[in-house]
């Protein structure tokens, strides 16, 4: 599906105080930029921002950074923040492939991947956010005890993601479920995204996994 371009989105995002311009300049210095030493959690492909806004409101002592590549999507999150600003939430208009250019080693404590593009064609597999290529990028920025949390309604992408982590020499599966909303343990405290609410209302099961580095490392 072609993303609809919204006139003026580029300018609004560029001028928004909620969006960090030139984020690569903060690499290794995010604590100084944010003005505190709270943990940093990021969402890659944050969409319209509901998930992070709910998390930020609940956890004022965690810094949340939402990464979204498309200004036409990020614009919606900016508009929401204008109505309900949150001091511990900021946005970055950036490509996830550039993650190691944005954060230093160990600077991120948690990465959220919610309803990512499945890139179903095999020739596009490297673009999947749970591909070995992206898992390597996460390894470059996550803290030693950092974790990845991934949710999707796409069964094929979830199976691919499970296999990618199980075959990784770096990562291990901490937990997973193939029906999050009916899983008493993993579903506790779950915060839904806009997509999650839409997909689950259609009866689609929601898949989730949590991953961290293998204890055999180091």
Residue 139 falls in the annotated catalytic set: no
pTM of the model: 0.94
Q: Alpha helix locations (H) across 172-216? A: 194-201
In the CATH hierarchy, which fold is given to the domain comprising 9-213?
A: Rossmann fold (3.40.50)
pLDDT of amino acid 2: 45
Give the C-alpha distances (Å, rounded to integers) separating 50 from 56, 57, 93, 106: 10, 11, 16, 26
Q: Alpha helix locations (H) across 37-193? A: 50-58, 71-83, 99-102, 132-141, 155-166
Domain boundaries, the chain: 9-213
Question: Which of these is catalytic: 117, 139, 153, 179?
Answer: 117
pLDDT of amino acid 218: 46
Q: Are 93 and 26 in contact (CB under 8 A)?
A: no
Distance in angstroms (rounded) separating the CA atoms of residues 108 and 144:
10
Full pLDDT tens readout for the chain, 218 residues: 445 678 788 888 998 999 999 999 999 999 999 999 999 999 999 988 999 999 999 999 999 999 999 999 899 999 999 998 899 999 999 999 999 999 999 999 999 999 999 999 999 999 999 999 999 999 999 999 999 999 999 999 999 999 999 999 999 999 999 999 999 999 999 999 998 999 999 999 999 999 999 975 54
Q: What per-residue string of b and e applies to 81-114 under the rule 16 or more CB within 10 Å gives b?
A: beeeebebbbbbbbebeebeebbeeebbbbbbbb
């Amino acid at each position: 599906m072609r993303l609809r371009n919204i006139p003026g989105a580029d300018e609004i995002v560029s001028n928004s105080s909620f969006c960090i311009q030139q984020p690569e300049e903060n690499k290794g210095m995010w604590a100084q930029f944010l003005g505190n030493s709270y943990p940093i959690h990021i969402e890659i492909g944050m969409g319209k921002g509901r998930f992070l806004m709910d998390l930020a409101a609940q956890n004022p002592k965690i810094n949340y950074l939402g990464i979204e590549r498309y200004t036409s999507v990020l614009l919606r999150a900016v508009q929401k923040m204008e109505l309900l600003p949150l001091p511990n939430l900021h946005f970055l208009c950036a490509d996830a492939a550039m993650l190691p250019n944005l954060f230093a080693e160990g600077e991120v404590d948690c990465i959220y991947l919610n309803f990512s593009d499945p890139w179903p064609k095999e020739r596009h597999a490297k673009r999947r956010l749970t591909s070995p290529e992206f898992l390597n990028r996460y390894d470059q920025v996550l803290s030693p005890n950092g974790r990845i949390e991934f949710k999707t309604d796409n069964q094929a992408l979830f199976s691919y993601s499970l296999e990618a982590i199980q075959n990784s020499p770096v990562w291990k599966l901490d937990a997973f479920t193939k029906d999050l909303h009916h899983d008493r343990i993993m579903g506790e405290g779950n915060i839904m995204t806009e997509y999650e609410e839409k997909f689950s209302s259609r009866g689609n099961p929601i898949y989730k996994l949590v991953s961290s580095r293998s204890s055999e490392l180091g």
